């Protein structure tokens, strides 16, 4: 297998310390490649980067008609949130309307990703609940699908449960390729994740951004989800998070979502392009540097957007005492 190119590296002093390889592709809904590097046909696990695709199941089963998801709830369904009160409240609100509670979530509990939220819990002497899990919005959305389908909610995370079959079907419809049991694993939040070519996920985002190649129903649903995410970027991630800051800065032009283990996906709406990127070694900070360099290159950022992206494309590395001793930087493509 050929090695993917080095797309980011860390410098310490005047010498390279670490090298991060990866692949990316920018593509339109027809499959025309705008830019790419590395092996874009290698199947990768998209993890949380495709939560907006998974959320299409809410519309496919008309859970939205039955439970009237707010735009905030739709944004949170697309989120890997940081467990702040705002996020917990929105997830809780939908669960209450479904006649369910945190006990019905099967994602497991972990400490909030947001440091202030962690400290607040600790001060109150409280353990985190599954509502603090960064995936609780997605899971609440999936529970609404179970309710709309009239199936038992228990076990909704399992691969053979009707909810996950539906989620799989909408992903296949959007990326235009079958998912396979031969390339399947379980995500950190216990739901299935299927590996597929980087190119297919990027094209899926282009199709969601434009509606081209999708049924009217899926096109409309995609529009509602992208609108929700870009209108409420704080709900899609949280305080200080790159996805929140990038979507805020681009004011609806860019849908951007990271996934665990170095995945970055999104769409540039006015261009009609989708993109997908995977850092081979799973490093999230490196993948952020890579995708920021990519957006600098293709998204025609204004001055403020450029400044933000340049900060992510070149992240300082500090000593314990806070001195800058190096940086993690995207490697400019050679031609």
Binding site for a second copy (CB under 8 A): 3, 10-15, 17-21, 43-45, 106-110, 122, 133, 182-190, 193, 195, 261-262, 280-283, 286, 319-323, 325-326
Q: How far is the CB of 110 from a second copy (least distance, A)?
A: 5
- Identify which of residues 147 and 278 has a Cβ nearer to a second copy in the complex: 278
Residue 291 token pair: 């995708």
Is the C-alpha dihedral spanning 40, 258, 312, 71 positive or negative? positive
- Identify which of residues 189 and 245 has a Cβ nearer to a second copy in the complex: 189
- Identify which of residues 251 and 318 has a Cβ nearer to a second copy in the complex: 318
3 state SS of 25: strand
- Identify which of residues 196 and 255 has a Cβ nearer to a second copy in the complex: 196
Q: How far is the CB of 30 from a second copy (least distance, A)?
A: 28
CB 104, CB 143: distance < 8 Å: yes
Which H/E stretch holds residue 196? strand 196-197
Q: How far is the CB of 305 from a second copy (least distance, A)?
A: 28
> Can you give 37-92 as a three-state secondary structure string?
ECCCCCEECCHHHHHHHHCHHHHHCCHHHHHCCCHHHHHHHCCCCCCCHHHHHHHH
Q: What backbone torsions phi and psi does residue 243 show, to the nearest 5 degrees?
A: -60, -45
CB 200, CB 226: distance < 8 Å: no
- Identify which of residues 3 and 127 has a Cβ nearer to a second copy in the complex: 3
Q: How far is the CB of 190 from a second copy (least distance, A)?
A: 5
Q: How far is the CB of 187 from a second copy (least distance, A)?
A: 7
């Amino acid at each position: 297998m050929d090695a993917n190119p080095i797309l980011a590296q860390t410098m310490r002093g005047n010498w390279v310390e670490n090298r991060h390889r990866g692949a990316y592709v920018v593509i339109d809904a027809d499959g025309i490649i705008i830019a790419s590097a590395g092996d874009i046909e290698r199947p990768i696990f998209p993890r949380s980067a495709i939560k907006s695709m998974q959320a299409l199941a809410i519309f496919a089963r008309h859970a939205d008609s039955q439970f009237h998801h707010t735009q905030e709830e739709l944004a949170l369904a697309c989120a890997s949130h940081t467990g702040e009160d705002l996020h917990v409240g929105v997830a809780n609100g939908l669960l209450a309307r479904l006649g369910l509670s945190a006990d019905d979530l099967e994602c497991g509990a972990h400490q909030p990703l947001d440091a202030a939220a962690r400290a607040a819990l600790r001060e109150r002497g409280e353990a985190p609940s599954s509502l603090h899990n960064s995936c609780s919005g997605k899971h609440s959305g999936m529970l609404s699908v179970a309710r709309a389908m009239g199936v038992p909610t228990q076990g909704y995370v399992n691969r053979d449960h009707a909810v996950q079959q539906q989620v799989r079907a909408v992903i296949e419809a959007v990326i235009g390729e079958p998912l396979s049991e031969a390339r399947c694993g379980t995500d950190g939040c216990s739901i299935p994740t299927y590996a597929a070519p980087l190119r297919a996920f990027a094209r899926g985002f282009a199709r969601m951004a434009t509606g081209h190649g999708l049924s009217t129903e899926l096109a409309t649903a995609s529009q509602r989800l992208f609108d929700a995410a870009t209108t409420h970027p704080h709900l899609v991630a949280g305080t200080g998070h790159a996805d929140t800051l990038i979507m805020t800065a681009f004011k609806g032009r860019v849908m951007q979502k990271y996934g665990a283990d170095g995945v970055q996906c999104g769409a540039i709406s006015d261009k009609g392009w989708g993109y997908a990127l995977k850092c081979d070694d799973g490093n999230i900070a490196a993948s952020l540097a890579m995708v920021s360099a990519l957006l600098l290159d293709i998204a025609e950022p204004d001055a403020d957007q450029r400044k933000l992206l340049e900060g992510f494309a070149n992240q300082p590395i500090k000593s314990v005492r806070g001195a800058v001793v190096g940086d993690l930087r995207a490697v400019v493509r050679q031609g």
